[in-house]
Structure 1
Amino acid sequence: MEQVAFRQMKEGTREEYVFLERLEDQFNQGLVDRLLQALRHLEHGLSGYRVSRLEHSLQSAARAEADGADEDMIIGALLHDLGDELAPYNHSQLAAAIIRPYVRGEVTWVVHHHGLFQTFYYAHHFGGDPNERDRYRDHPWYQSCVDFCERYDQAAFDPAYPMPPLEHFEPMLRRVFSRPPFDPAVIGEEHPLEP
């Protein structure tokens, strides 16, 4: 079989769905390669900063690594802005959706909310509330997100900061994304990801 015969999903046979599942498994083997390609593409994204979006991502991950963060948080830092080009107004949520099947719930929650928490540094320049993040003050991962933004994200626009090349993080990406998706032993506790 090279392609299914059905025109509506409800018409599909078991054989067709087994065939499609096999193709999907093969395709998913290239996920890390596609993530690396998407990260490289950030080199030519949004301008105006002193570093490219790729350099910002590398620097965020390097800062997390230097801080002793675990691989889940380092990968979260590396991929946290991956949604900038396709979802400029909800990039945090897109990045969180990408990592969610492979990292612990805390990292997904932090990446999901970092866009809102990051407004602490600039919302006042536009008449916004820099403390809007405080609506999550009682959340168990509030401080993790505050720390992520302070240590790894908002500080990662320094062209003089030593950062490794993307290849440095590739083995870590491959380890994290080789985990079984949605493994409860990895994901652990999850919390709702409201905006």
Structure 2
Amino acid sequence: MKDGTKEEYELLHELEKPYLAGTADRLLRELAGQADETLSGYRITRLEHGLQAATRARREGADIDWVVATLLHDIGDGLAPQNHDKFAAEIMRPFMREEVTWVVEHHGIFQMYYYAHHYGWDRELRQKYADSPYYQSCVDFCERWDQSSFDPEYRSDPLESFADEVRAVFARKAWDPAVIAAGEARGLPPAA
């Protein structure tokens, strides 16, 4: 890399643009590939969990960042099962507001509230984030959209119905301060 010229790096920059523009479609393909993938013991696939959660968000009137993030929040389960939440948040961070990516990044520890006590673990570990302006958004995300989305009877919207929203989010200018809205806590829409 150190021997590259300005002209070579300008060429690479131009050649990289179509690849960057294909991020949304690669994410959609990854989700589609989860249609047959499940963790032992679960009654739905990883894809169905994301679809259920995103459908719940959509039906409650959530904005595009919440809907797309909810669809993608567990996309890292297969490649990063020990830190899937942080993995997913890093994919979203350049394109979504800070509140939403913070919630995705921390949802794993917040979800422990529902099951940690069964293992003898501390279910209140999320309290260490109680001072965050995004704390309540994460509590609400887990309660309303994540933990309830393992229902084999729930009728979720199909993956194709989310494609335009995913493409719109990942077509944004990366790291746009107006999109990132650092420090701004909007919360989830009122519960339906």
Note if 1:42 corresponds to 2:27: no
In structure 1, the partner of 2:86 is 93
One-letter amino acid of the counterpart of residue 147, structure 2: Q
1:31 is aligned to: 23
User: Aligned letter for 2:31?
Assistant: L
Unaligned runs of 5+ in 1: 1-8
| Mapping of residues 41-120 of structure 1, within 5 Å | 41-47=33-39, 48-120=41-113
The equivalent residue for 2:188 is: none
Task: For residue 101 of structure 1, give the secondary structure of its aligned residue in structure 2.
Answer: coil
2:158 corresponds to 1:165: yes
Shift of residue 138, structure 1, vs aligned partner: 1.3
After superposition, the CA RMSD in angstroms is: 1.1
List structure 1 runs of 4+ shifted beyond 6 angstroms. Answer: none
CA positional deviation for 1:44: 2.4
Quick one: higher RCO (CA 8 Å, sep 6+), 1 or 2?
2
Mapping 1:122-133, distance limit 5 Å: 122-133=115-126
1:1-49: CA deviations, max 9, x gaps?
xxxxxxxx11110011011111111111211110011101112223321
Cα deviation digits, residues 95-123 of structure 1 (max 9, x gap): 00001111100000000000110011111
Q: Which amino acid aligns with 2:111?
A: Q
Stretch moving more, 85-94 or 21-30: 21-30
Identity rate, percent: 55
Which of 22, 34, 42 is the equivalent residue of 2:14? 22
- TM-score normalized by the length of structure 1: 0.91
Residue 175 (1) aligns with residue 168 (2)? yes
Size of the alignment, in residue pairs? Answer: 183
Go from structure 1 to structure 2 and tell me whether the alpha carbon gap of 1:40 and 1:113 turns closer, same or farther (over 3 Å shift). same
Write the distance in 2 (CA, Å) between the matches of 1:32 and 1:176.
8
Q: Does 1:139 align with 2:132?
A: yes
| Structure ID, larger Rg | 1
Secondary structure of 2:2's match?
Answer: helix
Task: Normalising by structure 2, report the TM-score.
Answer: 0.92
Unpaired stretches in structure 2, ≥5 consecutive residues: 185-192
